[in-house]
Structure 1
Amino acid sequence: MSIIFKIADTVKVFLTSRRGLTSLLEKGASVASTQILHNCRHYIPSLGVIIDVGANQGQFAVAASHFYPQARIHSFEPLPEVFRLLQRNTRRLTSINTYNMALGNSTGTLEFYSNAYSHASSALHVSDLQKNMLPKTATSNRIQVPVQRLDDLRHKLPFIPPVLLKMDVQGFEKEVLKGALHSLRQIDYLLFETSFVQMYDGEPLFDEMHHFVKELGFEFIAPVGFLQSEKLQILQMDLLYKRKKG
């Protein structure tokens, strides 16, 4: 029965978002990204630029091109093999630009953990807690990837307002923000995933991230997505913030 419910939920998400069921056949199609962006549209009617950090195979970028067709999307993915899939899945979408690098608070190279489950790849090591709950995340290899600060790239990326900075970098979000302190003056919205339990060694949890982005001048709008364990514990949540006026 659980499979039937999952199929029903998938159909509901794509129909309510007006993407249509044929969108499920598109390369890079994602139920989770579609649901998150469908929820974001309640709060953000239009966007000029989307900075997609931790693009993976392009799931978010592909969905974003549907919900915000006028937006220019800049997608960053550091893993070479995953980046090739990102390029393949977005090559027909002229609004999407792709970059084979990580974003953080340094420029040069970054030690990175390439996970067998690519969604769990991170600059931080997967915690024992996550390995126990999600055994498919237990295997990873250390590699070196190029990294830059968003502040070093902001003059190459025209920030046409409104601007959304989306981060799905598995516990490395705070470092991305530290490397974007000047850029944040031109960013209107933040969308990022945060954890309530230690999914990665050394990652800042919800309370720390919430206070950090408030200090940067952003106010909380709403949760727009979440990840639950098999016991229905909320492990992670996708949160939307808006720059305060004045």
Structure 2
Amino acid sequence: MRHDLRHAILRKLRRLGVDVKRYPATDSTWLLTRLLATADVSQVIDVGANGGRYGNELREAGWTGPIVSLEPLGEPFRRLVEASRRDASWTALQMAAGDERHDAQMHVASNAGESSSLLTMLDAHSDAAPMISIVGTENVAVHRIDDLLGTTIPARERSFLKVDAQGYEMAVLRGASRFVDEFCSGLQLEVSLVDLYDGAPRPDELFDAVSGLGFTLASVIPGFVDIQTGRMLQCDCVFARPSVFTTAG
């Protein structure tokens, strides 16, 4: 009876557009922090931090280790600094990451910069989310993560690299090859399942590259969905060294 009542309440809430799930076991960020603990991660490098939501979510889910967040755009960086300013273990850096040091024009998106990219947005993105548009460009500094190791970015073993770069993930990995090879236990990459940005890697290209670096898929976090068709357009894939699980416990 109690089970039937619970489901009746859930059905009524869903008709109102509200869903209720058990916390924390179904929360993707909480599960990610469990993986960080399993891998004994020493720091999180957050590439494409925007206003600091990822860092805030990690903190709310219980992650207490160091975070280094990179965000190139001025207005989101201001919000990132505000989010991190009372956290001594959270560093904010105004820069983009890529495979060479240069200045570039970033396409600035209307959704508080979250869909901004160094690549050109394609029609598939605007078709699925017509409320999001490119509203201008901004000159940004692009750095190779490997060039920053030991200075701006600590060279800590068992690091975790998260990249949300709207199609620029492969370039970030190329510029972080030494860091990933020598210091990373895990990766979190945004993966476009359809062509949303001109020049972005296909999922199979990204998976092959990550597999070649010695990582295996650990989890998938749903992301950008076309609510008209139900098709998922982007997701976050979390990868780990196989040894993380064979040595756990």
TM bucket normalised to smaller: 0.7 to 0.9
Question: Which amino acid in structure 2 is aligned with residue 143 of structure 1?
Answer: E
How many residues are paired up?
226
Which residue does 2:132 correspond to in 1?
Answer: 137
Q: Structure 1's 61 and 119: CA in aligned 2 closer, same or farther, altered over 3 A?
A: same
Structure-2 residue corresponding to 1:16: 23
Tell me the residue number matched to 1:37.
Answer: 29
Q: Quote the Cα distance in structure 2 between the aligned partners of 1:3 and 1:178.
A: 47
C-alpha spacing 1:220/1:43, structure 2 compared with 1 (3 Å): same
Q: CA deviation at 1:93?
A: 1.8
- In structure 2, the CA distance between the partners of 1:3 and 1:168, relative to structure 1 (3 Å rule), is farther
Report the AA paired with residue 89 of structure 1.
Answer: A
Contact persistence 1:49–1:159 (CA under 8 A): no
Alignment of 1:155-174 (within 5 A): 155-156=150-151, 157-174=153-170
Q: Please state how far the C-alpha of 1:199 moved relative to its aligned partner.
A: 1.0
How far apart, CA to CA, are the structure 2 residues paired with 1:191 and 1:164? 8
Counterpart of 2:241 (choices 227, 240, 243) is 243
Q: Secondary structure at the residue paired with 1:207?
A: helix
Given the alignment, which residue of 190, 193, 204 partners 2:190?
193
Q: Which residue of 1 aligns with 2:247?
A: none
- Displacement of 1:244 in angstroms is 4.2
- Give the TM-score normalised by the residue count of structure 2: 0.83
Aligned partner of 1:5 in structure 2 is 17
Deviations 1:92-127 (A, max 9, x none): 222110001101111121221111121110111110
Q: Is the 8 A contact 2:50 2:71 kept in 1?
A: yes
Q: Distance in 2 between matches of 1:146 and 1:134?
A: 28
Name the SS for the 1:70 alignment partner: coil
Counterpart position of 1:21: none
Could you tell me how far apart the structure 2 residues matched to 1:36 and 1:107 are? Answer: 34
2:49–2:164 CA contact under 8 A, matched in 1: yes
Residue identity matched to 2:168: F
Identity of aligned residues (%): 28
Equivalents in 2 of 1:167, 1:212: separation in Å?
14
Change in 2 beyond 3 A, CA 1:93/1:17:
farther
The one-letter amino acid of 1:105's match is D
Q: CA deviation at 1:42?
A: 4.1
Q: CA RMSD in A?
A: 2.2
2:60 to 50, 66, 81: 66
Deviates more, 1:171-180 or 1:56-65: 56-65
Check if 1:107 corresponds to 2:119. no
Query: Which residue identity is paired with 1:170?
Result: Q
1:55 match: secondary structure: coil
Q: Report the Cα distance in structure 2 between the residues aligned to 1:119 and 1:17, rounded to whole angstroms.
A: 26
Name stretches of at least 5 consecutive residues in structure 1 with no aligned partner. 19-33
Residue 51 of structure 1: aligned partner: 45
Q: Secondary structure of 1:160's partner?
A: coil
- Give the Cα separation in 2 of the matches to 1:66 and 1:161: 24
Q: Shift of the alpha carbon at 1:47?
A: 2.5
Q: Secondary structure at the match of 2:173?
A: helix
Kindly indicate whether the alpha-carbon contact (under 8 Å) linking 2:33 and 2:58 is maintained by their aligned counterparts in 1: no
